[in-house]
Amino acid sequence: MSKPEVMLGLEMPDVDVWSERVVVALGQNPNMFTGPGTNTYLVGTGEERILLDTGQGVGAYLPVLEQALERAGCRIQEIVLTHGHPDHIGGARDVQDAHGALRVSKLPHSGFDAGHAVEITPIADGAVIETEGATLRALHTPGHAEDHLCYVLEEERSIFSGDNVLGVGTTVIPAEGGDLLDYMNSLERLLAEEPTVIYPAHGPKIADGTAKLQEYIAHRNAREEQILEAMSAGNARIQDIVAVVYAAYPEAFHLPARSSVCSHLQKLEREGRARREGDVPIEARWERV
């Protein structure tokens, strides 16, 4: 079995130019979930550009953002967010403090947005945000998070995928707020856009977005079959299923993998292909139907 790709230990430059319209500034928040850190993007070609996502709010990020602004020769027009997880919204207030009362737009979510001291300008599916040289069209793509928006960069037919598609590895579906059935539908919606490049929130850019989405969908379907096979072999608890299905991965990834396996099992339960004993899914005993 080949060694699976993971982002742990992956290195990326603090600032890079990924297209004539896209400059990336690394969020300086590396860990096992974010890989090298959260990618934040300056989007456009003019003297004012959109800042897409803001990192986690660590102090080392603002100097990197300044480097990116100098390299692009621009200032920030406004902030647009993919979703309200802390490593995406957490730096918004710091950016405002440093660059003025910038508008912050996202699909609202009271649970995620609270506590960040940022006024949210609500946007939703189909919203269009424009700047010189760039038009972003929002796609509501829940699954990883209920408020998740991806953005089509119309001039390139590329997509900013947030956490729905990663530069390396696959996305975790959280037990809280995640939904695998929604996520699979979101991947199909992104695939229908036939994207060229995908700019992910974590990891390097993806040169062939359509192929990556096809790979993601096939991977999830294959993972589901592996889970069913593990259940057929008598593995009834999620931690036991994870130990079998993720045997090739570092053990550090087994804990977050429980959330994804739980999401698969809940999807199978909704489809009548699995059942559980116990009220709490992560603690229940599961069997194949």
* Interval 266-289 mean pLDDT: 94
Provide mean pLDDT across the span 66-85: 98
User: What's phi and psi for 199, nearest 5 deg?
Assistant: -105, 105
Please give the torsion angle defined by the CA atoms of residues 254, 255, 256 and 260, in that order, rounded to the nearest 10 degrees: 70
Q: Where are the domains of the chain?
A: 15-207, 221-288
Strand-pair partners of 136: 129, 153
Right CATH for 15-207 from 3.60.15.10, 3.40.30.10, 3.40.50.720, 3.40.50.740: 3.60.15.10
**How open is the CA angle 191-256-223, to the nearest 5 degrees?**
50
Q: State mean pLDDT over 197-224.
A: 97
CATH of segment(s) 221-288: 1.10.10.10
> What letter does residue 268 receive in the DSSP assignment?
H
Q: Who's near 62: CB < 8 A, 6+ residues apart?
A: 94, 95, 98
Supply the pTM of this predicted model.
0.91
Model pLDDT for residues 77-130, shown as the tens digit of each residue: 999 999 999 999 999 999 999 999 999 999 999 999 998 999 999 999 999 999
